[in-house]
Amino acid sequence: MHPGAQIELVYLCRQPVDFRKSIDGLSALVERELLLNPFAGALYVFVNRTRTRIKVLYWHRNGFCLWLKRLEAERFAWPQDLASDTLTLSLQEFEWLLEGFDLWKNKPHKSLIFTSVS
């Protein structure tokens, strides 16, 4: 991403996208189908059907930027529950996604609630 970009949120589009779409098609998809503002300080992340490519769309000052990552041997982890059109991630979670971590299979330790120590 551009070093000066002020990114606040990351939105994953849960449905696979036709990767022939570029800036115009993806920004229209963000606005019309996801009902989000493509000019906001956010990354909009799209995956292809085989989950080997990710496109990231964002607005920086005076124009759209489009970033692509293609995996050569593996697939990106992606949420399987398609109850809603988008999922919000933190920037840290997005970095983990790019590194190959499956955010939906790894679960933290269970919270324990005690009322006394003895």
pLDDT of residue 112: 77
Q: What is the DSSP letter of 29?
A: H
* C-alpha closest to that of 6 among 54, 61, 67: 61
Give the pLDDT mean for 94-115.
81
Residue 20 domain-assigned?
A: yes
pLDDT at 2 over 70: no
Residue 114 domain-assigned?
A: no
C-alpha to C-alpha distance for 114 and 5, rounded to whole angstroms: 44
pLDDT of residue 37: 96
Q: What is the count of structural domains for the chain?
A: 1
Q: Find residue 89's DSSP bridge partners.
A: 10
How many percent of the chain have pLDDT more than 90?
58
pLDDT digits (tens, 9 = 90+) for 34-90: 999 999 989 999 999 999 999 999 999 899 999 999 999 999 988 877 677 888 999
- Distances in Å between the alpha carbon of 70 and those of 26, 48, 52, 109, 115? 18, 10, 6, 32, 50
Residue 108 domain-assigned?
A: no
Let me know: does 20 contact 64? Beta carbons within 8 Å. Answer: no
Residue 21 domain-assigned?
A: yes
Residue 111 domain-assigned?
A: no
pLDDT at 26 over 70: yes
Residue 118 domain-assigned?
A: no
pLDDT band (50, 70, 90) for residue 104: confident
Domain around 60: 9-99
The pair phi, psi for residue 66, each rounded to 5°, is: -130, 125
Read off the pTM.
0.84
Let me know: does 2 contact 65? Beta carbons within 8 Å. Answer: yes
| Residue 81: Cβ within 10 Å count | 8
